[in-house]
A and B are shown apart, each in its own frame.
Chain A
Amino acid sequence: MLVSYQWLKNYVDIDDLSAEDAAERLTRGGVEVDMLHIRTEGVEHVVVGYVEECSRHPEADKLSVCVVDTGSAKRTIVCGASNIQAGQKVVTAEPGAVLPGGVEITTTTLRGQESQGMICSLQELGVEQKLVAKEYQDGIYVLSDDAEIGADAVAEIGLRDTVLELDLTPNRPDCLSMLGVAYEIAALLDRDIVHPDTAHKESAEHTSGHVSVQVDVPKDNPFYGVKVVKNIVVGPSPQWMQNRLTAAGIRPISNVVDITNYVLLEYGQPLHAFDLDRLGSSEILVRRAAEGEEMTTLDGETRTLSSEHMVITNGKEPVALAGVMGGATSEVQDDTTTVLLEAAYFQPARVRKASRQTGIRSESSIRFEKGIDSGRVEEAAERAASLLETYAGGEVLQGRVEVDHRPSENKKIETSAGELNGLLGMNLSEDDILSIFRRLRLPASAENGVIIVEVPTRRPDLEREVDLAEEAARLYGYDYIPTTLPSGVTTPGFLTDRQRRERRMRRFLESSGLNEALTYTLTSREHSSRLQLHTLPGKVDVSLPMSEERSTMRTSLLPQLLDTVQYNRNRQINDAAVFELGSIFIGESGGELTKQPQEKTVLAAAVTGWWDTHLWQGEKKKADFFIIKGVLEGLFNELGVASAVEFVRSAHTELHPGRSADIYLNGVYAGFTGQLHPSVEKEWDLKETYVFQLDMDLILSYDAVSVFYETVPRYPAVTRDIALVVDDGVPAGKVERVIKEAGGNLLHDTSLFDVYQGENLSAGKKSLAFSLVYLDPDRTLTDEEVSRTHDNVLKQLEEEVSAELRK
């Protein structure tokens, strides 16, 4: 809503308050003023000039040379407008004047003719092209004859004004009207309201002699009323009215249309003017549209309607889409003489549907949708009649024809000072509260401590006691609410085990050198089929995506992490290590969802480029399988599940077949890790890149093995190193398992310290060197005992993996 400050002053005395101050008061009171627009901002020293002479430029057909009296001087000014004529009073920018955007006017020469200034159009004063009335759109603006020569032209036109742009919350549709804003500011400042003048003469002829009204859908349309005004002369509306409309962003059209728009802005009540002679009948029938019924709206578009839409008809055909837009056939035109004025109350939801489905958002539909004041419909009609009489020469017929199904009684809300104070934590007296309701013009009475408020129709947002509490608090001032802490029982705050483990996980990965990334959940269909944890039954698609790129919920975190790596590579950042913890979304096999999709928490990472760099010492190491595996092993240890984890060669087709592993937790598949398949790397334009993706819901469902102190060894350990030669295909993990099983209780620790292939070994063989530590916590082991166990280890190795000791 755009509120002309000059206009607002018609309803409430705020001459002592600047627009800025009023804006601040409104905002603090709950009606937010988003911005202040100073009309014709930057225009200086532009005056009213009188065109004494006007002749064709000798060198240019389209230019005129004018002599303009500006009060202080006679200026010769070259003007290109086609509507310039001698005898006009025009907007004159003399040398030294400034136009919007800091354009300074100087004396110039146009085709050999000196021009001492410029004659201006409204656009040149900063009025938007689309808001300029048709007659002035292509030329200069012509002031009325009584404008004073030499006076400030902006003030003469009536454009010295500031416009308040309101950012209204949906609960305050009352402020979609000048009167509503006036009520608000009057309440805030405790001032009087001046109501618009609705007085007009009535002819002896009665409206009912010209038209009848029938409403078939009283639920959708609780009130429908019409007035008839005849002998209308269509022409421009007065300049002040045009100024107020343009301040509100509405283009002046003609007096009749402008008056309906003016009253719409003034009361928030949309009106529609039909040309009664073009209506095609003398009856109005309000009904639902038939399925597939067509009508051409004012904008020339043919609309196909449905039974969800309500239409105003002439008994046969639709003449308006109720509350949204009038029809083209019965539109008021230049030769219209008899106007049928519609003033109605339409149900918000019905108008909303029509507006949604047709895509028409009009000043009218916006207001009906949010709820207009059902109690002011008639007053608005009379106001329009009054204006039609004054500014369009109309003769208002007697009375109205109307169908009224509105509830006859206003809603009442009961409350008390105690209740309101209890909710707000304040200490207002009953008098304080009654005084606030008086300022808000909410009729209220108090008896035996009970306050009864009768809610006026202009405030449909007031439904129950808490709404009154808000009114009391915002008028009294939130600054006066004290600051307290809740008086109830205190409870301990804490994070759940799961939340704490997720945090530990993040901390561990960060301290391992990975950056946390956050990517979008919505992704492309292409991405949603890639690098999945396992085959999913279905996806979760968005019904009306904004783009293909954001059309479905992710099924894997990796595609977008790879996008991240690629994004960085495109910016010469070739070393990246990123992880993300987030949800993937699992749909149903049928396609359509029958219940909320499963959301699985997944952890994924991508690592590429130099992992370790220390340039001046020449040490560096590229990311490889064992680096990412080391991170994972550390992570599993951090989460207390390391002992249950097993890495098994993976068959994931998007991973490098020789450098990837599936991860099992107690034998259950929990994710994968490894190098991307080179073809996938190529697709994303990546160098060697290692990834992992884990099912965290599964992993975190295992309790962490609790930490329990073991006695620090008091007896010496015995270390035996062995180098084993085995077949190339024997996994080191298997060899280690054999060692551990054969070593039994005495084998305290085993670690692989060398892997060798090549010279001195026959083809197809490799050497693995292990360090075995034997220890008994209770005594010193004898050499003999150690040898007995160690020999058993060697024997088992030979039997199970054909390992030979390397000589």
Chain B
Amino acid sequence: MIDRLQELGREALEEIKQADSVKALESVRVKYLGKKGPITEVLRGMGQLSEEERPKVGQKANDVREEIKEKLEEKTEQLEKAALDEKLKAESIDVTLPGKEVKQGARHPLTAVVEEIEDIFVGLGFQVTEGPEVETDQYNFEKLNLPAEHPARDMQDSFYVTTDMLLRTQTSPVQARTMETFEGQGPVKIVCPGKVYRRDDDDATHSHQFMQIEGLYVDKNVQMSDLKGVLEAFVQKYFGADRSIRLRPSFFPFTEPSVEVDVSCGICGGKGCRVCKHSGWIEVLGAGMIHPNVLEMSGFDPEIYTGFAFGMGVERFAMLKYGIDDIRHFYTNDIRFLNQFKRA
């Protein structure tokens, strides 16, 4: 009987080996391990055996069964894997084909620059204030220490809409307006972004409309060294920690002393190149200590309060940051231009 069981085992294993589908294996299983299968058949004749032989045969039958089961499982797994491989192979795609584009618009580069600058100053404790684009002569000029007939009015040839209203030539009137709301009580720390207008013919470097951000810091004991410190902090955040600034004397009617602020050239590291016109420095800001007349006209006592103000051209910052060479690009809105600022 043991021989018979062994033979059955060999036959079963051979059939498993031959099976080429899960279905074929199933019939092998039914054939050999089923209740009517040959192994059960053999075991039915166990009664004729001796006490000694019985367990041996029983053991053998179990071993054979186990082996068949094991092989069946093994083979099933094999076949299933092969089938899956086949299926996956059929599902294969060209992974180098382009993915589905997620539609994404771009931020206008001027907005990107304005927001970045706003964020830096907000981080330095400033608030952002805005004001009207059509201003009165009083706020655009007079309250900024530019009385009628002041020769410096020539610097800003303007668009008037009536004899005493014009398109603002600077965002400084917002500073005057905001200061007034503080009713002589500091501190005042604001930045004012916005559009301004001057009578310039549009060309690569001039635009009758452009954007400015001006800022203001009024408090007791504000010194010119503070202006230097705050603007250095700003410049290093915007242009990079390795940049330095220098001040050059200049003139603005609403500040005294007035300075131009240069930042060290990032292209040549200060050695001089085409971008910085071989000077190692790039002019980026106008600034100064707020003129006592301006403080007075906005309700602050210049004996108690001092302050500094600064202003910058947004287009210029954008041109420096992104290497744009023509100011008109900002207002033409060529999609091929705009699309480049999705990450801005």
Chain A interface (Cβ < 8 Å from any Cβ of B): 27-30, 32, 169-173, 348-349, 352, 369-371, 422-426, 464, 466-467, 469-470, 473-474, 478-479, 481-496, 499, 503, 506, 509-522, 540-546, 550, 553, 564, 567-568, 571, 573, 575-579, 583, 585, 592-593, 596-597, 599, 611-614, 616-617
Decide: B133 and A599 in contact? CB cutoff 8 A.
yes
- Report the bound CA distance from A482 to B224 in whole Å: 9
Counting CB contacts under 8 A, is B151 at the interface? yes
Provided the pairs A478-B246, A541-B161, A616-B97 are in contact, do residues A597 and B224 lie with their beta carbons within 8 angstroms? no
What count of chain B residues pass the 8 Å CB interface test? 85
| Across-interface contacts of B201 in A (CB, < 8 A) | 546
Kindly count the residue-residue contacts between A and B in the assembled complex, taking CB atoms under 8 Å apart.
Answer: 251
Within 8 A of A (CB), among B218-273: 219-226, 228-230, 232-233, 246-251, 256-259
| Across-interface contacts of B230 in A (CB, < 8 A) | 485-486
Counting CB contacts under 8 A, is B27 at the interface? no
In the assembled complex, 20 residue pairs joining A and B whose CB atoms fall closer than 8 Å, in A order, are A170-B155, A173-B151, A369-B151, A424-B223, A426-B225, A470-B257, A474-B249, A474-B257, A479-B246, A479-B247, A482-B228, A485-B229, A485-B230, A514-B105, A515-B105, A516-B338, A518-B331, A519-B333, A542-B159, A573-B335
Within 8 A of A (CB), among B316-344: 330-336, 338-339
Provided the pairs A506-B107, A521-B195 are in contact, do residues A488 and B187 lie with their beta carbons within 8 angstroms? yes
* Closest chain A residue to B308, Cβ basis: A486
- A sample of 8 more A-B contacts (CB under 8 A), given A32-B248, A492-B125, A513-B105, is A32-B250, A170-B151, A170-B152, A349-B149, A484-B223, A493-B124, A510-B107, A513-B104
- Report the bound CA distance from A573 to B335 in whole Å: 8
Decide: B249 and A487 in contact? CB cutoff 8 A.
no
Q: How far apart are A606's CB and chain B's nearest CB, in angstroms?
A: 11
Decide: A473 and B167 in contact? CB cutoff 8 A.
no
Q: How far apart are A183's CB and chain B's nearest CB, in angstroms?
A: 15
- Report the bound CA distance from A591 to B94 in whole Å: 67
Counting CB contacts under 8 A, is B108 at the interface? yes
Decide: A521 and B209 in contact? CB cutoff 8 A.
yes
Decide: B105 and A495 in contact? CB cutoff 8 A.
no
Decide: B152 and A510 in contact? CB cutoff 8 A.
no
Q: Which 3 A-B pairs have the closest CB atoms?
A: A425-B225, A30-B249, A425-B223
| Across-interface contacts of B221 in A (CB, < 8 A) | 422, 487-488
- Report the bound CA distance from A540 to B331 in whole Å: 21
| Across-interface contacts of A521 in B (CB, < 8 A) | 133, 167, 195, 197, 209
Counting CB contacts under 8 A, is B214 at the interface? no
Decide: A169 and B105 in contact? CB cutoff 8 A.
no
Q: Which of B124, B159, B339 has the most CB of A within 10 A?
A: B159
| Across-interface contacts of B122 in A (CB, < 8 A) | 493-495
- Report the bound CA distance from A567 to B329 in whole Å: 12
- Report the bound CA distance from A612 to B102 in whole Å: 9
Cβ-defined partner of B187 (8 Å) among A170, A491, A509, A593: A491
Decide: B187 and A489 in contact? CB cutoff 8 A.
yes
Decide: A567 and B223 in contact? CB cutoff 8 A.
no
* Closest chain B residue to A514, Cβ basis: B105
Decide: A488 and B165 in contact? CB cutoff 8 A.
no
- Report the bound CA distance from A520 to B135 in whole Å: 17
| Across-interface contacts of A540 in B (CB, < 8 A) | 134, 161
| Across-interface contacts of B331 in A (CB, < 8 A) | 518-520
| Across-interface contacts of A592 in B (CB, < 8 A) | 162
Decide: B104 and A517 in contact? CB cutoff 8 A.
no
Decide: A596 and B251 in contact? CB cutoff 8 A.
no
* Closest chain A residue to B228, Cβ basis: A483
Decide: B248 and A488 in contact? CB cutoff 8 A.
no
| Across-interface contacts of B203 in A (CB, < 8 A) | none
Cβ-defined partner of A488 (8 Å) among B123, B219, B228: B219
Decide: B291 and A466 in contact? CB cutoff 8 A.
yes
Counting CB contacts under 8 A, is B106 at the interface? yes
Q: How far apart are A484's CB and chain B's nearest CB, in angstroms?
A: 4
| Across-interface contacts of A543 in B (CB, < 8 A) | 159-162
* Closest chain A residue to B249, Cβ basis: A30
- Report the bound CA distance from A599 to B168 in whole Å: 13
Within 8 A of A (CB), among B88-113: 97-98, 100-101, 103-108, 110-111
Q: How far apart are A217's CB and chain B's nearest CB, in angstroms?
A: 17
Decide: A473 and B224 in contact? CB cutoff 8 A.
yes
Counting CB contacts under 8 A, is B199 at the interface? yes
Q: How far apart are A75's CB and chain B's nearest CB, in angstroms?
A: 41
* Closest chain B residue to A574, Cβ basis: B335
